[in-house]
Structure 1
């Protein structure tokens, strides 16, 4: 190599102004045809590649761009198409590709779940009955495109076979090795074609290596990469890990590949200690992830330069690649489109700025620190100024945290006693029906919010518009026959960003978008200082909605763990301390709602599982703080006040004890997109508190039939205590259109009435 190289693992696909999202949604709605759609995305892809080149990146990833999801891309490349979708031979059509991701009128979408410990969600591969084969060589296509049209010698990115199978479903554990045996020759063929094309480096993403693995998994990696390395003797394979340190260091770094990528940001010093303790193979390149690919804070380049100097004591610079710790898919595109306070603005680094940091560090290692001394000093000063700012040193908040020492957050009475009090208070029917919270945010709703934000509407005008929406939908919900209503959250742009705009210590960006799933982009708030309650955030809308109906209306809040996990969080204090600050602020909101007669309050925690550390030995401490924070926010209410929570798209088997420990009166979960699979969790382990089952998938553009909802209910009621059971959709209804929502909820309510009639018939002599 001669010198260290700069590299990137992946770049945001959405564009600075969410051009990717807009193109997708125009195509799905029929506003543009396939040719126009693909042309627009090609322009965006080329712009991203050119920016990386301009920033000085030597190894630019290609093939990381996707029409929807990189895991789905891998499934499709190998012809792993669920049988319910039509497919014969050859490249998979765009229509089939999107049907797998989104569902269609005849088939439900594939399951979606979180990508390791991020807020990105991937489409779960379904391996049952699959006969893998190559439908197209995607990495080769993108490599040729970049080389021929942009003169960029790209680094193809491929999701590795072991991680791919680990992330899939539809097979028994004993079938794992047989599936790998089918995939190895297909991966080898893909790589051989890349080798023949003259590709120098291929990035094999195997993030599963950063989780807790069994010795049999390490044996699988040895077998897989011995086969692949033998198949492509002239191709350099870079085995890329990220998100954590690796446990089996010596086994992994000695795998038969030419490079190993390690995370030196989120490993708590583990990877660095392993290198110094065990050394690093002299025949390999180390790709050192030293710039945080998952958060948005500017690096102190002095510290990062010192870290790299430390690494070069074990691995010389000529065998070093400098890069982010993970794909930049998880951060916004650029800070240049923001207008924050100068101290905060200078303390931020999005994707483009991180590439500059990588390039500067590479120059510093190759040319000496003096070559970039000015830039290093500027970064150190910016980080210091932010840490010393008044917003990060709010004495009243810090005193509240100190006073928590020894405080136990517990409800006044246990659930079985609260349940009786709440039943008498609410008088709900058997199998009460409700929704998760949000109702359709139409183009009209979004337009009203934009005009208000731009100052074209007054506060009073916008407030009245929101009230009109609430009034309309309270009437619709009553007409449908729902038992517990919601105000619809029309005033909220996002379930986390909304609270970020109301709480002290947060700031929201204008263009800080990241992809969550499909075309769904979110703009995570930035927790940059000490979190403080300012004034009630949801009280006005909740009280107004309750005044319109005799039925209970749920107050709707986002929980402390989800606010933390779906925000960009300051990195200068422990995360659990930030969570406790959020929980204390939310407790004041909960108490304000209760004081005004809102006695059913939902505190959503859909991201509780997302925050689980990748290492199982760290779970206990994380879950302890998560449970404590939820109860800190909710446990001060009276017995009559019913606390709900909601979680979705996760495997709950291994955290069910923690979920129970939250002590929520009602837990709402997803059961439709996983095709009822989550019910098995409650078949294996009893849950003795209220449980709301998500009986239809709101992410698929289809209206569920009464019959399919009844099928899920029948299975659930064979497992769960019917007296504890609620019926609801699997998530909020914000993204669906009004007609679809109304018809879907009518199906849900009809199914509930049939279940009630069935019970009544069984009880009648």
Structure 2
């Protein structure tokens, strides 16, 4: 019996990688200094995992930005116009991730999408007809040798070929035309790793937990038949996660690989499949420690599961990479009776070794402590919340009148121009804003001083929005640290970590709150600053809220009640806020559901029965009681929405804005095909890149939108909030957006 993990957080215990990388972007440190920080972190993490007693340790799970981007660079899947910039290898890498605008040329960043059902984002590899797949293996080999020099034997990790081809985009070419080149290059990589001394390689194939049928199934069969035809000398762990492999299980266990990794938390049928048959000549890497949530493992249940599998060769592992949880509980200030319930990445290493000890007959004390922990009830229920949930009926989730009737009422109410302009909500959170918020939190300044500071920022940005001619304004959210954490801090039932950062993309981290008990709202959360902003201008100011599904999905949820029940509790709390905003004169209310898609089951057959059947009604519950004159907006970003358009329409909002710039406006075709009725605001430029789009570029994007969507239904906005951008680039970009919309408006008038 041995232990392993699939991957470890790379951002560092105190986000050292984030700070070093951002300093490099600002030319404050050299490339050599950045590489040295990265090396120090890798060695620290490998030694931490080794010292915890983990037997089999991965390498190449480290990345400066994203592992999928690393894999694209490994195989030279790099657009030619980026190569022609003549940048260093590191700067070329960051140009792919962030975009590039400089003396050597101009390049938009690669598209960004959610990594399966997580809040992590990956960069989408781009294949073109002139893509020539070649190996550039120094990163993966250097990492292995770096660990070897430190007397640590590792298992290099790489995205597998089936997943790589499945998540990539193809321009003037197809996946089945490239798989020969790609498979041959993987084989060369195997040889080079074997020559470097590696005994194992981990091929991550999460795509196998989705629906793998038809052409997709044939592609999988074809890839692995060719890849393993010559029986590589290096041993292969074929690793899956985020679900079960019911479509390909028999094929997997018959492949000539030495080990298969399967997840038991989200894999509903995994235990059933393994119990039916698992070959004695293969090793099962059993993902029984949850890599996506922060609660302690229930040892007794896990031990009973592992024993029931009756597998001859077993490795106890995590259900997925630990990059989806914070680094360690050690730095948190929770009371012991609370802290004992949590296991972050470092603590999950201990859980693995304690489970191993229990199975080996040497962990009786660890088992006793764990049994005592689970013997006591953790959560005290709120009877009022329970009664309110039970009182809901079918009409609680329906808004009256219908969408088309509301649209007529709202058009008369607002009298907005053609192609109304707005932003998504947040404005840049400068160092001064963050410092002042921290001073208030630490009681270093008074409530009056803090309020004066926030009010002055709102005033400044309202005036700027009026000056440039935006039609619907926002207050900027300067009082908010995070779109979920801010609400959680004002709701009963939540806990907050001090340093529980999790990577979302690149250097962007989030600190998910923890749902500890029943959720309720006891006082208004956003009314104060929304109504203040509205009192300072004659233009409409949107109220800005986060929706219940996103609040749940971007929190660490409870495991003692269903996610549906938790979401309904949150929806009722946000409904109270919506009605208070409306009562205080806020006429447009945006309820963001950025993470709606995030927990969508990976198999389409489960979409409605296991998720959308409660997630969509939960959103409707939030706004079902507002008046017809109140316009409800929602916003979604960086996920694939084209296949859930009917569900989005069923949310019954009045306006939806969404990311479209990085995905080349592909969603517009789906909207057109589904006869989408809601007004839409496809993002006209990518806010996650520092480059400033020109007026002409945005005009061209607007014209493309108007080819697919009637102009009466189009809003003009960026594709996400501007919180992470600098002040100058944010203002310049939005000014260009406003000018572009005004010029297209004038063009439309001239045609009339």
Deviations 1:455-503 (A, max 9, x none): 2122222122111111111111101110000000000011111111111
How far does residue 225 in structure 1 lie from its aligned partner after superposition?
Answer: 2.8
2:358·2:367 contact (CA, 8 Å) conserved in 1?
no
Residue 505 of structure 2 aligns with which residue?
517
Q: Quick one: which of 643, 649, 655 aligns to 1:666? A: 655
Matches of 1:641 and 1:84 in 2, distance apart? 47
Q: Against the structure 1 CA distance between its residues 396 and 384, is the aligned structure 2 distance closer, same or farther, given a 3 Å change threshold? A: farther
Specify the SS of the correspondent of 1:493. coil
Q: Is structure 2 residue 369 aligned with structure 1 residue 378?
A: yes
Q: Is the 8 A contact 2:246 2:273 kept in 1?
A: no
Cα pair 1:9 1:323 within 8 Å, conserved: yes
Question: In 1, distance between residues paired with 2:495 and 2:142?
Answer: 41
Indicate the SS of the match to 2:81.
Answer: coil
- Residue aligned with 1:529, SS: strand
- Matched with 2:239 is 240
Partner of 2:689: 700
- Report deviation, 1:432: 0.6
- CA offset at residue 230 of structure 1? 4.1
Q: By how many angstroms is 1:92 displaced?
A: 6.6
Show the counterpart of 1:358: 352
Distance of aligned partners of 1:398 and 1:479 in 2 relative to their CA distance in 1, 3 Å threshold: same
| Counterpart position of 1:136 | 137
- Measured in 1, the distance between the counterparts of 2:540 and 2:638 equals 27
Partner SS, residue 326 of structure 2: coil
- Return the match for 1:49 from 21, 26, 46: 46
- Following TM superposition, by how much is the alpha carbon of 1:744 offset from its aligned partner in structure 2, in angstroms? 0.9
1:310 to 308, 311, 315: 308
CA distance 1:84–1:680, shift in 2 (3 Å)? farther
Aligned to 2:14: 17
Q: Output one character per residue of 1:297-322: Cα deviation in whole Å (capped at 9) or x when no partner.
A: 001112111111112x2x12xx1111
1:85 match: secondary structure: helix
Who is 1:490 aligned against? 478
Q: What does the per-residue CA deviation read over 1:127-167, in whole Å, with 9 as the maximum and x for residues that have no partner?
A: 1231111122432221111011x100001111100000101
> Alignment partner for residue 616 of structure 2, among 622, 627, 631?
627
Task: Give the Å deviation of 1:676.
Answer: 2.5
Q: For residue 436 of structure 1, what is the aligned residue in structure 2?
A: 424
Matched, 1:98 2:94: yes
- TM-score when scaled to structure 1? 0.95
Note closer, same or farther for the CA distance 1:377–1:459 as it changes in structure 2 (3 Å cut). Answer: farther
Structure 1 stretch displaced more, 75-84 or 328-337: 75-84
1:217 maps to: 216
Q: RMSD in angstroms over aligned alpha carbons?
A: 1.5
TM-score, normalization by structure 2: 0.97
Q: How big is the shift at 1:618?
A: 1.0
Question: Contact 2:190 / 2:232 at 8 angstroms: preserved in 1?
Answer: no
**2:646 and 2:674 in contact (8 A); partners too:** no
Map residues 630-649 of structure 1 onto 2, 5 A cutoff.
630-649=619-638
Separation in structure 2 between the aligned mates of residue 196 and residue 643 of structure 1, nearest angstrom: 60
Is residue 761 from structure 1 mapped to residue 750 from structure 2 by the alignment? Answer: yes
How far apart are residue 232 of structure 1 and its match? Answer: 5.0
Equivalent position SS for 1:730: coil
For residues 292-303 of structure 1, the aligned pairs below 5 Å read 292-303=290-301
Query: Cα 1:408–1:657, aligned 2, differ >3 Å: closer, same or farther?
Result: same
Q: Tell me how far 1:724 sits from its aligned partner.
A: 1.3
Distance 1:138 1:599 in 2: 54
Match of 1:557 in 2: 545
Listed as ranges, the matches of 1:417-432 within 5 Å are: 417-432=405-420
User: Does residue 158 of the first structure (1) align with residue 155 of the second (2)?
Assistant: no
Query: Which residue of the partner structure matches residue 594 of structure 1?
Result: 582
Distance 1:296 1:715 in 2: 44
Q: Give the conservation status (yes or no) of the 8 Å contact 1:513–1:523.
A: yes
- For residues 425 and 228 of structure 1, the distance between their equivalents in structure 2, rounded to whole angstroms, comes to 63
Q: How does 1:688-727 map to 2 (within 5 A)?
A: 688-727=677-716
The structural deviation recorded for 1:234 is: 2.8
Larger mean CA deviation between 664-673 and 129-138 belongs to: 129-138
Q: Distance in 1 between matches of 2:293 and 2:720?
A: 27
Distance in 1, Cα, partners of 2:363 & 2:23: 45
User: Following the alignment from structure 1 to structure 2, what is the Cα–Cα distance between the partners of residues 461 and 45?
Assistant: 43
Q: Which residue of 2 aligns with 1:193?
A: 192
Instruction: Provide the secondary structure at the position in 1 that maps to 2:80.
Output: coil
Aligned pairs (5 A) from 1:180-579? 180-231=179-230, 233-248=232-247, 249-268=249-268, 270-277=269-276, 279-311=277-309, 313=310, 315-316=311-312, 319-365=313-359, 367-368=360-361, 371-385=362-376, 387-390=377-380, 393-579=381-567
Q: CA offsets per residue over residues 200-227 of structure 1, 9 Å max, x none?
A: 2211100001111114433433333343
1: CA distance between counterparts of 2:563 and 2:165? 32
SS in structure 2 of the partner of residue 502 of structure 1: coil
Could you tell me whether the CA contact under 8 Å between 1:480 and 1:742 is conserved in 2?
no
Give the match's secondary structure for 1:557.
strand
**Relative to structure 2, which stretch is displaced further, 746-755 or 127-136?**
127-136
Q: In structure 2, the residue corresponding to 1:716 is in which secondary structure?
A: helix
What is the alpha-carbon distance in structure 2 between the residues aligned to residue 712 and residue 466 of structure 1? 35
Count of paired positions: 745
1:609 and 2:608 correspond = no
3-state SS of the aligned residue for 2:731?
A: helix
- Separation in 1, partners of 2:528, 2:375: 40
Aligned to 1:107: 107
